[in-house]
Structure 1
């Protein structure tokens, strides 16, 4: 019974997290789901994969519905023996997105437990972390993988702290499972960024134990953490190996082309340009959004309300009030340095105040590790606005140049500041009265001083940004004048707001010092004020109106247009090019097999073919990609399906194969290639002996290659040619996993026309098959199974040892 009482506060906290997560996203109770823009795109990308899975009850691991064809490794592929995914599914039992909010709360609560924070304080700390505006808005726009990865990071950090605190059993288990869950969340940018935080924390503990010469504990800790990390990686082996394999063929890897799409020599060899990496760079002054949410205007689509100057201006233009009210709901009030912002990254003025208090009162020196991580993440988030540091990391820090949107590294401070805040609250509560007065006043002076300086210095800003040129052209100078007036008003009102919450939080702590409030009441009131501050701001950006019916989520692009229906009547095998969507929309992938799509890591060669050829209206390239229909909107905005009669079809024989040495030459050869009669093959992407052994090829007037059976991972053809020939297949070449046979005998697949497959086919009639059987899945699944079994053994042995030790202690007593 006593053991149950010991766990009761934690059970109450978990129950509270469940209730709050569901209440916050209450439309899920009626079966509605949040409309997330990125998830809508994912639904289009994964449509063929999901349809195949439902029909055949197996994984294709390949889809032809996007970018002409790509592996499904980054599209939600399900792997054998992925038991860590099953554990994750069990933890995410709530309807989405309440499941991620619950994970935010749970992970952070465990982290505070590792720091020996009392349950009530940890409960409010978890809520403060979960309601951080950035963490809420990424759920609103559909950055689910990012949210998923962020949610498990506190658990990983908790495991590390448990181990270094000599709580080896719970630390080892938590680290192993949390690291496994973190990796399977599959957002390696977030995981990578948090390695900086881990480096600070682990570095702190190394320093402490080296200073104390406690090397035995240090070695033991590293052994436990190392074993946990190895098993966590092993349990995710399939996904890690598949991702590593695909990364080499994605836009995240360096190109073999030495000239750009304009024909000029490339000056940057990195896969992603400096401008692309640093496009979303946080403004230095914009950092103050962290403590005053709308200091820089909030978002690009802010609701100004009917009390705003803009509302009065629009009504003054004889616009009906109801229409004016709708118009001011989406005003571009943001005037910071980034191109687009959906919400300010607000961590809370009360959180910041308590975190400053921790720097004065918290005795544990881990606060310095957290403060160092906060400082680094803030400085790196400035990107091109602090180019000296950013350039150093891009040039010398491994893998740093593989990720864009550098401002998102602020997730580190969004984790560390709430930790410091609760440590500050806890330290204040437990510090002697005489020792807490000055730190309280110092903290008020620092935070309040920043706000007062901002209040007095509002004249330093002109409330304009780069995007304003576009707004001025669209809406005129009078509109901009009124918009800047509203921005200035928002600037002042958000300072008043932060000052108000700061004074209330200070007052509660001050009255605790005067013994007006008890310890419980103080924690309760400060916790409520801290969470309410964040809750109100977050609720502005993810609303009940964002939830729609389940059927609308399942068909995010609505009903097919007349153009779609016309294309769907065609039962032959072909591709579609959506001109309006370009290469950045998965709408056409939802209904058809498309050469476009939406993904952060597109197939590199397909993107290059688009940039260097399709974007320049090279129809021969569309022909070789078997693009039979082109979707394009007319002047009235109605989508049309334009048929391309010259599409080459699924496969064809060519009369000539031209060999070149480099990728540059291969790409340039596509400029004038007659794709239905000739092909180009490069020594840079094929085995030299295979090219040299091609021999003489030809085709007769009746030669054909016909597709007889289609599945995304299994294609069957028949060919007929009186001569030894060379066949080109309008399927994307991918070196790993695809196997070809001619009459059951394995044949070598060659990379031709930069992106397509080619086969040398002997004279006569033949049956040709392509099957996608990725070795990476077989190898990874075996490793995952072994690692999971070792995890279970490790947990079992740990529990056995713990019980044995407890029994010995009981006998002694």
Structure 2
């Protein structure tokens, strides 16, 4: 008999409980993937903000970008030839590669090579030039999210910090003006902070071994992040990064000494940071050592000749103080933290035309130093609630203040001058305002503490009345700002502009007082002033909104998530509102047109295809231009654009003047490319098209014999060039006696270039005696070696900027090879450091995995080995 099954009525669950269950399930799913969602928001925000470049193929065609793009053909040629380019022959009579352009990754630096290869494949930079830089913004944002989440243990605060740091106006503007190496220098900095803080926290835990697998992994990853940052080759940005980290560690050490708390952990962290930094530098030793050697001979490492001989400026630094501090922020411009338009900025569109409305202390600027009014008030909140009790907040506050004062440069030089006069190599840096990038990072972190404090106060139900009073203060500030916007301050604003450096510049350009007044009334007031009034109202509204959200959260009217989400939205809208005004996209055709075929370059290449036998010089308005465009066409140019030229080249241009016919002749210039007719009879017109081409009537081949030599002081030689009172074929000027008899060459003496490439020049020479052979190639004491029939020969500095050799009688093969020993030494160090880092990383990962496997098998996971 079958077993009878009792029928039971199905139990009907409460519909509301079913709904609640679904909500709970969806919430658990959300929380499970919360990190991925927020990282996706960061990535999506960056892609949307730069959508014109990502999806429409638009570009930024600024001067700095075009200057860099000029070397695309050079890098392509080097890559096809399997050559890693150490020398660039196309500008300034040649100079080392590393300070000039980005370069193909070195395969022996295999950590960076792997990273760059993978990154290049993802971004496909050959079809979209801005995408690789845009994704570095995403890396910065994601790194900031990971760091802030570790710091605050709150994902929404981490999202807030990531977005506000990524969209700080000055940081966004770097891609617009083509300062891409600064973006790379910043991209991995949040991850550097993350791994440093992990080491600090690990060493503070006495239960963990100093050389635990976790610490080895964090050490290796810290070294790797520092190494990728170093590959930006932006030494000034890297210096500021290390300065921030150094102040941070030093402050924590001092704090613990004063408070008599555990100091061993922070000391160990500092030692591990030094080890990581040394590893990073060693991995980049080939580049760093070469640049350090070159710095001795560049205009950033050696004073100009006029500074050497003039006692009044005998103590001058490698970079003139005025030049180094041109881009100095000023105390008055601090107001742009609140009102970004107050001082105006460049490339503002007025009736369809770009105009520069900036009237502050700097020569010009394309953007305000704005990091967000919401970030500002929350940073003040973070300092207000945490400064007394939190050493990290104290350290970030000190960094913010010190960096702000350093950015003032010559406008308030108390701190800046200490670094300029006493810190090694600091005098080689320029643009003090650049340090704002790291000041902004510190301020964003402080604002994260502001949000954290608000949440802790509300959750802990402590000090809530004080928090409400703070909200009232913010309401009051917002009200005052709105009131000022209604009343206005046009009179005082006009007076400030009228007495500003802009007015002085206009006076120097010949403008009358009436014209200056008219310019201020027609350009500055309707735009910069009017936008400042709009900023006052809009930012008052934003502050009131955030203060309202804070007050509602403090009184339990809204949840913490609504408070944080609303704050994030307002902060991002605030930054995007300003940032979009600084974005000036160009069609891809703008860059293509810059390097399109031209009638004059075609004529030059057809008439003289062997470009190693002559140089060109570009004139615009009768003056040497400062761009690298001719390099794209593989034409060797006497002029170019870079901030760290070889010192002797700059001296020659400064003293003898760049347009001097004799200097151009010494520089091997055969043709002048000019935008208008030249009056100088030293040149004869040979082509007329979109530009004029003039041939140098006194052109001397780039290798020629001199009848003899004279020994003179360096300044005397330059003065002789300036006065054009000698024939280089008759006499060569040396700065020291070579103590050799020089024979005058006869008519059968000859020299012919048989091979020219990036790193070498080869000549067939027939000398009729002990002849002095002069080469129109820049003299550089390191790297270049000369060989006569395979035997090394001494290179003599000649005519201040050139090279010469003494060639014995007979037929010879003469070679110049660029073989900087310091590079090859650095290459060996780099390979060794890469191997060492690989060993440390593998030991950490393998040890951690093995330990975890053992722990899992025993069911006892060791907490101190969690990463």
The TM-score normalised by the length of structure 2 is 0.84
Asked if 2 retains the 8 angstrom alpha-carbon contact of 1:353 and 1:443, the reply is no
- Equivalent residues in 2 for 1:134-533 (5 A)? 134-166=170-202, 168-169=215-216, 171-210=218-257, 211-255=259-303, 257-258=305-306, 266-297=313-344, 299-304=345-350, 325-327=351-353, 330-362=354-386, 364-431=390-457, 432-439=460-467, 441-442=469-470, 445=473, 449=477, 452=480, 458=489, 459-461=491-493, 462-464=495-497, 465-468=500-503, 473=511, 477-486=517-526, 487-533=528-574
Mapped to 2, the partners of 1:335 and 1:256 lie a distance apart of 31
Q: CA RMSD in A?
A: 2.8
Judging changes above 3 Å, is the alpha-carbon distance between structure 1 residues 743 and 196 closer, same or farther for their aligned structure 2 residues?
closer
1:661-704 residue CA offsets vs partner (Å, 9 max, x unmatched): x4334433434332122211113xxxx7xx22x23332112312
Tell me the CA shift for residue 266 of structure 1. 3.6
User: Structure 1 673/33 Cα, relative in aligned 2: closer, same or farther at 3 Å?
Assistant: same
Deviates most, 234-243 or 189-198: 189-198
- Cα-to-partner distance string for 1:427-484 (whole Å, 9 max, x where unaligned): 2112233424424533763796499377578354325133346668397753432324
Aligned equivalents of 1:569 and 1:447: distance in 2?
72
Contact 1:108-1:125 within 8 A present in 2 as well: yes
Match status 1:778 vs 2:819:
no
Counterpart contact for 1:300–1:334, Cα < 8 Å: yes
Question: How far did 1:737 drift?
Answer: 2.1
CA distance in 2, matches of 1:277, 1:447: 42
Structure 1 residues 48, 718: closer, same or farther in 2, change over 3 A?
A: farther
Q: 3-state SS of the aligned residue for 2:40?
A: helix
Alignment partner of 1:738 out of 784, 805, 812: 784
CA distance change for structure 1 residues 5 and 180 in 2, over 3 Å: closer, same or farther? farther
Structure 2 SS opposite 1:276? helix
More deviation, 71-80/601-610: 71-80
Moved more, 103-112 or 169-178: 169-178
Secondary structure, aligned partner of 2:343: coil
Relative to structure 2, which stretch is displaced further, 208-217 or 341-350? Answer: 208-217
Confirm or deny that 1:33 pairs with 2:84.
Answer: no
SS at match of 2:330: coil
* Paired position in structure 1 for 2:661: 619
Where 1:712 maps in the other structure, the secondary structure is: coil
Q: Report Cα offsets for 1:738-761 as digits up to 9, x if no partner.
A: 222222222222221112111110
Which residue matches 1:674? 727
After TM superposition, the structure 1 stretch with the greater mean CA deviation from structure 2, 794-803 or 631-640, is: 631-640
Distance 1:40 1:140 in 2: 12
Q: Matches of 2:732 and 2:243 in 1, distance apart? A: 49
Q: CA deviation at 1:527?
A: 1.0
Correspondence for 1:314: none
Unpaired stretches in structure 1, ≥5 consecutive residues: 305-324
Give the count of matched residue pairs.
773
Tell me, yes or no, if the aligned pair for 2:307 and 2:316 is still in contact at 8 Å: no
Aligned counterpart in structure 2 of residue 645 of structure 1, from 668, 692, 697: 697
Alignment of structure 1 residues 538-617 onto 2, 5 Å: 538-543=579-584, 546-549=585-588, 552-553=590-591, 555=592, 557-571=594-608, 572=610, 573-580=613-620, 582=624, 584-591=626-633, 592-615=635-658, 617=659
Residue pairs, 1:789-800, within 5 angstroms: 789-800=835-846
Measure how far apart 1:385 and its partner are. 1.5
Task: Tell whether 2:834 aligns with 1:760.
Answer: no
Say if 2:87 and 2:94, in contact at 8 Å, map to a contact too. Answer: yes
Given that residues 595 and 629 in structure 2 are in contact (C-alpha distance below 8 angstroms), is that contact kept between their aligned partners in structure 1?
no
**CA, structure 1 residues 7+621, in 2 after alignment: closer, same or farther (shift >3 Å)?**
farther
SS at match of 1:73: coil
Q: For 2:651 and 2:468, how far apart are their aligned partners in 1?
A: 58
2:117 aligned with 1:86: no
Deviations 1:336-364 (A, max 9, x none): 22221101111001111111111133453
**Residue 415 of structure 1, CA deviation:** 0.7
Alignment map for 1:719-730 (pairs within 5 Å): 719-730=765-776
Match of 2:139 among 98, 103, 121: 103
SS in 2 for 1:222: helix
SS in 2 for 1:127: helix
Distance in structure 1 (CA, Å) of the matches to 2:828 and 2:281: 13
Does 357-366 or 764-773 show the bigger shift? 357-366
Structure 2: give runs of 5+ residues left out of the alignment: 1-27, 124-130, 204-214, 679-688, 861-867
Q: C-alpha displacement at 1:489, in angstroms?
A: 2.1
Give the conservation status (yes or no) of the 8 Å contact 2:764–2:814. Answer: yes
Contact 2:217 2:840 in 1 (8 A): no
CA offset digits 1:556-597 (Å, max 9, x no partner): 624344333332223242111112262522123333210111
- How many angstroms apart in 2 are the aligned matches of 1:196 and 1:238? 23
Q: CA separation of 1:227/1:485 partners in 2, compared to 1, >3 Å: closer, same or farther?
A: closer
**2:624 touches 2:639 (CA, 8 Å); kept in 1?**
yes
Give the 5 Å matches for 1:59-138.
Answer: 59-74=84-99, 75-78=101-104, 79-89=106-116, 90=118, 93-94=122-123, 95-138=131-174
Q: State how far apart, in whole Å, the 2-side matches of 1:300 and 1:482 are.
A: 16
- Contact in 2 for aligned 1:657/1:678 (Cα 8 Å): yes
Contact 1:48 1:63 in 2 (8 A): no
| Aligned counterparts of 2:147 and 2:480: Cα–Cα separation in 1 | 34
Structure-2 separation of matches of 1:450 and 1:406: 32
What is the Cα deviation at residue 289 of structure 1?
A: 0.7
Question: Which residue in the other structure is 1:664 paired with?
Answer: 715
Measured after TM superposition, the shift of residue 727 of structure 1 is 0.2
Secondary structure of residue in 1 paired with 2:181: helix
Per-residue Cα deviation, 1:61-94 (whole angstroms, up to 9, x for no partner): 2122100111111222343412343354245744
Preserved contact between residue 341 and residue 529 of structure 2 (Cα < 8 Å): no
Q: 1:353 to 1:169 in 2, by over 3 A?
A: farther
From the superposition, tell whether residues 568 and 248 of structure 1 become closer, same or farther in structure 2 (CA, over 3 Å): same
